Structure 1
Amino acid sequence: MNKDVPIIQINNLWKEYGENIVLERLKLDVKEGDFVSIVGASGCGKTTFLNMMLGTEKPSRGEILLDGEPLSCEPSVERGIVFQKYSVFPHLTALENVMIGQEFEAGGIGSTFLGRSFGDKKKQTEQAAKAMLEQVGLGHALQKYPHELSGGMRQRLSIAQSLIKKPRILLLDEPFGALDPGIRKDMHELIKSLWQEQKLTVFMITHDLSEGFYLGNRLWVFDHVRHDEQAPERYGAQVTFDIDLDKPSAADSISQQIIKKIA
């Protein structure tokens, strides 16, 4: 990859549903290794944008480029996602939940059948899954089922399930919103360390502004620049602030403006 080319380029991106415009005129670049926290009032298209990054939604106009090429309109192993509601399989143990992510990737001839691995391939998959569970603090819970885990442990399992595929881009849709404050703090430290260790590029939606400032190195604020009270769907949201959080003085100077906008 050419390091001079941003990993993600968003060129004049629009998303419309019939006459309802959700997003308009997004023009942004993201460098590899950026952690972009996304905030904004409800209904500003944050999740719609994340779905376009994942590939489950297509742009109406414009484009998203990955390494200078159009982003695939189908989910891929390059992009992992963690939701607020745990996306784990209730009938599988923690170890099996993480293994299945790798097992459904293409394997060598004779190593998989209907997406499940066997022989040496299965041993390799199991070792990798155990290592990932250790990394997220679940090495002691390999044989436990999701209903036997706490909320924080289930979210750790979701993260391990996503990262086992070694994605370059991690998408987080309010991943800590359902956790109590103490567990959230632990999860913040975990995701921050994983971001740095695995050199991930991260996009995270959050309704907690302090969380966005703490975790990311960039903060995007989605808001409507243009308004029509008679037809609010006529105009879409844009990114009204793109803040470099590595420059605290710049962030501090406009944080109060942001709080007023999204309160």
Structure 2
Amino acid sequence: MSYIQVRNVWQQYDEHVVLEGLNLDIAEGEFCTMVGASGCGKSTFLRLLLGQERPSRGQILLNGQPLAAEPDPSRGVVFQRYSVFPHLSVLDNVAIGLELSKAPLLGRLLGLRKREAREQAASLLTQVGLGHALNQYPAQLSGGMQQRLAIAQALIMKPKVLLLDEPFGALDPGIRKDMHALLVELWQQTGLTVFMVTHDLSEGFSLGTRLLVFDKTRIDPHAPQAYGSRVTYDLPLNARRQSASTASLQLQTGH
């Protein structure tokens, strides 16, 4: 059985159809890059996967179960605009995710539990190359470092699915290359199932194990919003990289 099943999903806002008849089967550990013209529904599809929105029609299943109606720790997300807390240090930006999940009433942990959460956050920050910046604040970091922080925020909850919406679009080419290498390394280590929206076709081809192209197949000039986008091309990529991720996943699960 596929890990994620998308069954005849439509998304419509009043008379505006954004997605129509979307059907996909995604295996666990796949890295799906998504490309297409602006406004063709890529980010809308990410919001459906995250649980920020529910489909107008159809269903999305995660591991055989209906997708939770609201965002939960099983799905991490990274946006193009850095979703960090400017008033918190780098370490606290990551540790707060653990504190809020384990102490939802107080929002803070105490004693040994707090120390363990901060040690876990520090370890992850070292893994993403921010071990030297634990006590700095986001405003003191470069754009690439802030995006590393955002990725650490998403990964600290150990999600099963990572959703990326143009995460490197605002970065310089050299920094983007470094971030590509970091993302692939983290994906191979964790066995995450990844969905990444990008406007850079070369980025889509080089990073993913599967390229999904979104486009409208039907257009009515008299009613331009009457039809939505579908996945018009579904291309397998980087089979060797997929095998590495699958091997990592099997080691983690003991299969």
TM-score bin (small chain): over 0.9
Task: Please name the residue that 2:10 is paired with.
Answer: 14
Q: Which residue of structure 2 aligns with residue 178 of structure 1?
A: 170
CA offset at residue 113 of structure 1?
5.0
2:87 aligned with 1:95: no
Q: In the aligned structure 1, how far is the partner of 2:116 from the partner of 2:27?
A: 32
Spell out the pairing of 1:153-164 with structure 2 (5 A cutoff).
Answer: 153-164=145-156
The CA distance in 2 between the partners of 1:158 and 1:213, in whole Å, is: 23
Distance 1:247 1:33, change over 3 A: closer
Q: Matched residue of 2:24: which SS? A: strand
Deviations 1:224-247 (A, max 9, x none): 011101111010000000000136
Q: Which residue of 2 aligns with 1:241?
A: 233
Percent identical: 60
1:43 pairs, out of 39, 46, 59, with: 39
1:257 corresponds in structure 2 to none
Q: Tell me how far apart the structure 1 counterparts of residues 152 and 239 of structure 2 sit (CA, whole Å).
A: 31
Conserved 8 A contact 2:102-2:109? no
Q: Does residue 81 of the first structure (1) align with residue 77 of the second (2)?
A: yes
User: Partner letter of residue 159 of structure 1?
Assistant: I
* Equivalent-residue separation in structure 2 for 1:217 and 1:113 (angstroms): 41
Q: Separation in 2 of the partners of 1:75 and 1:83?
A: 15
Cα deviation digits, residues 19-75 of structure 1 (max 9, x gap): 110000001000000000000001101111100000001100000000111001100
Q: For 1:193-208, list aligned pairs within 5 A.
A: 193-208=185-200
**Does 2:141 match 1:149?**
yes
Please give the alpha-carbon distance, in whole angstroms, between the structure 2 residues aligned to 1:187 and 1:223. 28
Name stretches of at least 5 consecutive residues in structure 2 with no aligned partner: 241-255
Distance 1:39 1:100 in 2: 33
Aligned to 1:25: 21
- The aligned amino acid for 1:55 is G
Seen in structure 2, the aligned counterparts of structure 1 residues 237 and 81 have a Cα distance that, compared at 3 Å, is same
Select which of 125, 136, 140 maps to 1:133. Answer: 125
Shift of 1:106: 3.0
Determine the C-alpha separation between the residues in 2 that align with 1:138 and 1:28: 36
Residue matched to 1:261: none
Shift of 1:115: 1.7
TM-score by length of 2: 0.92
For 2:30 and 2:177, locate their aligned partners in 1 and report how far apart those are by CA, in whole Å. Answer: 21
Q: Deviations over 1:187-243 (max 9, x none)?
A: 000000000000000000000000011110000000001110111101000000000
Equivalent position SS for 1:105: helix
- Structure 1 runs not aligned, ≥5 long: 249-263
In the alignment, the residues of structure 2 paired with residue 114 and residue 23 of structure 1 have an alpha-carbon distance, to the nearest angstrom, of 41
Q: Could you tell me whether the CA contact under 8 Å between 2:43 and 2:197 is conserved in 1?
A: yes
Helix, strand or coil at the partner of 2:225: helix
Moved over 2 A (4+): none
